Amino acid sequence: DGGITQSPKYLFRKEGQNVTLSCEQNLNHDAMYWYRQDPGQGLRLIYYSQIVNDFQKGDIAEGYSVSREKKESFPLTVTSAQKNPTAFYLCASSPTSGRGRDEQFFGPGTRLTVL
Amino acid sequence: DAKTTQPTSMDCAEGRAANLPCNHSTISGNEYVYWYRQIHSQGPQYIIHGLKNNETNEMASLIITEDRKSSTLILPHATLRDTAVYYCIVRVEGGGSNYKLTFGKGTLLTVNP
């Protein structure tokens, strides 16, 4: 089945540790995105990538880093510089051309708790 | 991207139509209206989008006023599984750096038995 996978669903880390969240898609989409969601809030864009080996900062990129070495994968690293990393992290992808380019497909999310 | 205003919450009886309003008075001529929904602790799901004509698909209908300053998402026969937060978003269609979506707080729709 085609889709987006994020793992793990729940992740616990100690304060001061970097942690990498995985996001994989087999939809052959060019564009991928990372969002953060805090309780009772909407989604905020962290980073996005429209093509392999290229990515742009979103609205809240500080304390995060990404890479896009493969079309299928867009991992997000939450660094120790991120002051409030505990949140629900959502990955999405979309085509950049053609009929479906306006619909973003979301993964199930990773809930990160920093202790 | 233009900002949107939605009610914080709404209730609907199961089997009845759910009408979710959205105000986007500063929408530009090339911006579309998108609707997504998010069931608790899951990723958002695309519902529908449109520019100025009314749109319908298997999930919902989208009614956009003639001046495009507001729209209504209609779920014709709401079920308990439609309980979710519904987000109204405006942005240009496709294209370059405009792919990103800007989510507000949305409307929590609760469908009651």
Task: Look at residue A9 and tell me whether its pLDDT is greater than 60.
Answer: yes
Beta bridge mates, A37: A43, A88
pLDDT at B70: 96
3 state DSSP class of A14: coil
Instruction: For residues A60 and A46, give the distance between their C-alpha atoms in angstroms, rounded to a whole number.
Output: 5
Residue reference for tokens 């759910």: B18
Instruction: For residues A31 and B90, give the distance between their C-alpha atoms in angstroms, rounded to a whole number.
Output: 19
Q: What burial class does residue B15 get, using C-beta atoms within 10 Å of its C-beta: 0-12 exposed, 13-18 middle, 19+ buried? A: exposed
In this structure, the number of other CB atoms found within 10 A of the CB of residue B77 comes to 10
Residue predicted with more confidence, B104 or B75: B75
pLDDT at A61: 95
In this structure, the number of other CB atoms found within 10 A of the CB of residue A32 comes to 32
Q: Are B82 and B109 in contact (CB under 8 A)?
A: yes
Give the confidence band of B12 by pLDDT, cuts at 50, 70, 90. very high
pLDDT at B44: 92
Tell me, yes or no, if B57 comes closer than 8 A to chain A by beta carbon: no
Q: Closest to A103 (Cβ–Cβ): which among B46, B97, B103? A: B46
Q: Closest to A48 (Cβ–Cβ): which among B41, B87, B100? A: B100
Q: Give the number of A-B residue pairs with CB atoms closer than 8 Å.
A: 63
Tell me, yes or no, if B28 comes closer than 8 A to chain A by beta carbon: no
Mean pLDDT of chain B: 91
Task: Look at residue A43 and tell me whether its pLDDT is greater than 60.
Answer: yes
Contact B100 A90 (CB under 8 A): no
Q: Could you read off the pLDDT of B79-93 as tens digits, one per residue?
A: 999 999 999 998 876
Instruction: For residues B64 and B76, give the distance between their C-alpha atoms in angstroms, rounded to a whole number.
Output: 16
pLDDT at B91: 82
Nearest CA in chain B to A98: B94
Task: Look at residue B2 and tell me whether its pLDDT is greater than 80.
Answer: no
pLDDT at A34: 95
Specify the range with the lowest mean pLDDT, choosing from A60-69, A100-109, B37-46, B73-82: A100-109
Give the confidence band of B104 by pLDDT, cuts at 50, 70, 90. confident
CA distance B48 to chain A (A): 9
CA distance A80 to chain B (A): 25
- Testing the interface with B: which of A106, A110, A111 to mutate, by most B Cβ within 10 A? A106
- For residues A58-93, one letter each, b for 16 or more C-beta atoms within 10 angstroms of the residue's C-beta and e for the rest, the string is beebeebbbebeebbebbbebeeebeebbbbbbbbb
Nearest CA in chain A to B48: A103
Rounded average pLDDT over B38-45: 91
Q: How far is CA A68 from CA A47, B4, B12, in A?
A: 11, 32, 43
